[in-house]
Amino acid sequence: MDSYVKLLLSNKAWVEEKLKVRKDFFEVGARQQTPEFLWIGCSDSRVPAEDITGSEPGELFVHRNLANQVHPEDLNVLSVIQYAVAVLKVSHVIVCGHYNCAGVQRAMEYPDADEGVVDRWLGQVRTIGRQHADEIAALGDATARFDRLVELSVRAQVARVASTAVVRQAWETERRPKLHGLVYDLRTGHLKELETLEP
């Protein structure tokens, strides 16, 4: 069977399962969305936000990009943050990276690469690696160094979210949202908490 056809058949089966549990599942969901969380994660196909958190449709407002970056000039991520914080009034913003991230690996293994859009996108990760070069180099093995750069990158992205005007304003006027840095471990399936920033 063609993989695309299988995808469509799987959708039909998913719809049937949801309707067995709750006949009005889609009707209620179509009225409005009121997620409590904004999730900024990696585009990696092995890190589906709803699946790894056990969330239902409507519980997470999700933005994904290569290596879960928050670029100050990226209108896509900035518009998502603004909409989630100012319009949806989310209580939490999560930046979630993951171990074995191909984007972070590329930035680490090719610190001077400049072969196109991907390498420009990963420039922030390379900068973080240079800023923490001594700390990373002191770690015992390649996996530990790689994991640490993933964590440092997540922390830097949380700081970038905290620096956005919409989050600063919400902190001042509404005392929300809390910001969280998480890492997903592909090897175990577990989420690891790195930090939480509050207003």
Point out the catalytic residue in the list 63, 64, 96, 101.
101
What the block records as the tokens of 187 is: 């090897």
pLDDT at 28: 81
Q: Is there a catalytic annotation at residue 185?
A: no
Phi, psi of 151 (to 5 degrees): -65, -45
Band the pLDDT of 21: cuts 50, 70, 90: confident
pLDDT at 93: 98
Residue with tokens 């690469």: 113
Q: What are the extents of the domains in the chain? A: 1-31, 36-197
Kindly state the DSSP code that residue 83 receives in the 8-state scheme.
I
Query: Cα–Cα distance between 151 and 163 in angstroms, integer?
Result: 19
Q: Is there a catalytic annotation at residue 180?
A: no
Point out the catalytic residue in the list 63, 64, 98, 180.
98
Stretch 142-169: mean pLDDT: 98
pLDDT at 114 over 90: no
* Angle of CA points 147, 115, 134, to nearest 5°: 35
Point out the catalytic residue in the list 42, 63, 106, 180.
42
Phi, psi of 179 (to 5 degrees): -110, 135
Q: Is there a catalytic annotation at residue 98?
A: yes
Q: Is there a catalytic annotation at residue 42?
A: yes
Stretch 69-97: mean pLDDT: 97
Q: Is there a catalytic annotation at residue 46?
A: yes
Query: Cα–Cα distance between 158 and 116 in angstroms, integer?
Result: 26
Query: Cα–Cα distance between 187 and 158 in angstroms, integer?
Result: 23
Stretch 28-56: mean pLDDT: 94
Q: CATH assignment of 36-197, given 3.40.50.300, 3.40.1050.10, 1.10.510.10, 3.40.47.10?
A: 3.40.1050.10
Residues whose CB is less than 8 angstroms from the CB of residue 184 and which lie 6 or more positions away in sequence, other chains included: 47, 52, 96, 97, 98, 99, 190, 191, 192
pLDDT at 105: 96
Band the pLDDT of 140: cuts 50, 70, 90: confident
Q: Are 96 and 49 in contact (CB under 8 A)?
A: yes
Point out the catalytic residue in the list 22, 46, 120, 130.
46
